Chains A and B, each alone.
Chain A
């Protein structure tokens, strides 16, 4: 099975990048995942905003406009949102495939 079609492997790749603290790469691959497996624009816009916010927080922290704890808290929230989005897409697709027999 080509990797592009293997949803499990694609999820594992994203989770693996997060495990290795390669958040930026993980979010880029999540954008690819959402584009490939999600209908409509809403989810893609959501992951685009998550990625943009993540970058904004990192920049603010680097420029000392945001303390570590605040930055960490905001990052954590965004990562939950990103991972939940991936789960919701898989669940929605699963229900669609199951209901179509």
Chain B
């Protein structure tokens, strides 16, 4: 008999008796360590869930009894099966499967590329570009910059909604490009979700079936795909609602569902976070990231936003536009790589004069207030740890602090 197994089981039994909820977490670890079948591991996980949700002492007591029973099952399973031929074969099979996928590549075909793209508006004398951009399957590209700096213009040109003046556009994955682009084919694979969402008539369900049918999905395939998208985006409770009955957040999710149902290769979203609360923003960005990285139906995502940190957190590359010109265009990881100083945002109750007085040190090269928070510039060598240490050592109360040295936010200043 495995001595550590028995010792762990003994400690676990006591833990479950004293504090069932903590014990349920330890039970999952115990099962993962000693059980040889996924069924027992699943049992532990579900007991953990049920234990957390138990509302009354008698339900809690039942779950406690089940947890203790599962420990005995795991001990018996371990004694009987560990090292057995069947377990070895299963482990080898899973290791082979792991190696098989290790050798595979995630789909990252080039969806869009443009070189020297420009757009001029003679009346306002605004000019966008020249823009060079590549978009790949599975990647998210964030476009940021102040209002009226060319973000929507760029997105609309990529979507084929707006004609460019100069430059070359190609959609390699669709085998379209140059002067002879079949826009019907291109637009059937590109989804554009504008900031001002156009209203629709009828229920969401009808609209989704209609969109799927427009893209060739009929009969059972149409029903299956709509069911999947509705459930995946958590919209089932709102299926029968009309446009006017929906909040801004759900209008956006429905617009997303309407395009995801036909599995576009490129999803373009203009300011999708603009009208969402914090939770809805997080959910949307996480969903978009997960769906973009699908192995079977990957897509490239191009989105504009003023929510820099949120977009940078999920993006692979960023484009920063200022008055129509590209200030940064590259991987998120390379933002600020060529910087000569570091930059930090700080909110504190101190007045500017008092703050400057306490940051009177050669490492702090500039301090100013932008109306919301202080912007502190330091020498390149000064790390955020040193800045934090200095703030704390000098009794500066910190209401908010962020290192923006490697964020496009520093480009706004």
Contacts and interface: CB of A to CB of B under 8 A. Distances in A.
**A and B physically associate:** yes
A1 B102 contact: yes
B50 A41 contact: no
Of B59, B90, B97, B291, most buried by chain A (CB within 10 Å of CB) is B97
A44 B228 contact: yes
Contacts of B297: 35
A12 B248 CA distance: 34
Contacts of A18: 45-46, 49
Contacts of B94: 8, 90, 94
A72 to B, nearest CB: 6
A96 B401 CA distance: 52
Contacts of B49: 18-19, 21, 23, 79
Contacts of A93: 97
Contacts of A45: 224, 227-228
A41 B25 CA distance: 35
Nearest to B28: A19
A77 to B, nearest CB: 10
B45 A2 contact: no
B93 A95 contact: yes
B187 interface: no
Interface in B124-168: 138
A76 B50 contact: yes
Interface stretch (B70-78, B169-177, B232-240, B366-374): B232-240
A44 B55 CA distance: 33
B339 interface: no
Interface in A43-68: 44-45, 48, 51-52, 55, 59, 68
A36 interface: yes
Interface residues of B, number: 44
B38 interface: yes
Given A32-B290, A52-B231, A19 B48 contact: yes
A36 B231 CA distance: 17
A68 B55 contact: yes
Contacts of A41: 224
A31 B224 contact: no
Contacts of B52: 21
Contacts of A8: 94, 98
Nearest to A37: B295
24 contacts: A2-B106, A4-B295, A5-B101, A5-B104, A5-B106, A7-B97, A7-B98, A8-B98, A18-B46, A24-B234, A29-B290, A31-B231, A48-B227, A51-B231, A55-B234, A68-B59, A76-B50, A79-B49, A83-B45, A84-B39, A97-B96, A97-B97, A98-B96, A98-B97
Given A36-B295, A94-B90, 15 more contacts: A2-B106, A4-B138, A5-B102, A7-B98, A8-B98, A19-B28, A29-B290, A36-B296, A41-B224, A45-B227, A48-B231, A80-B42, A84-B39, A97-B100, A98-B92
| 7 nearest A-B pairs in the assembled complex, by CB-CB distance | A94-B93, A36-B295, A83-B42, A94-B97, A5-B101, A87-B38, A97-B100
Interface of A: 1-8, 15, 18-19, 21, 23-24, 28-29, 31-32, 35-37, 41, 44-45, 48, 51-52, 55, 59, 68-69, 72, 76, 79-80, 83-84, 87, 90-91, 93-95, 97-98
Interface of B: 25, 28, 38-39, 42, 45-46, 48-50, 52-53, 55-56, 59, 90, 92-94, 96-98, 100-102, 104, 106, 138, 224, 227-228, 231-232, 234, 236-237, 287, 290-291, 293-297
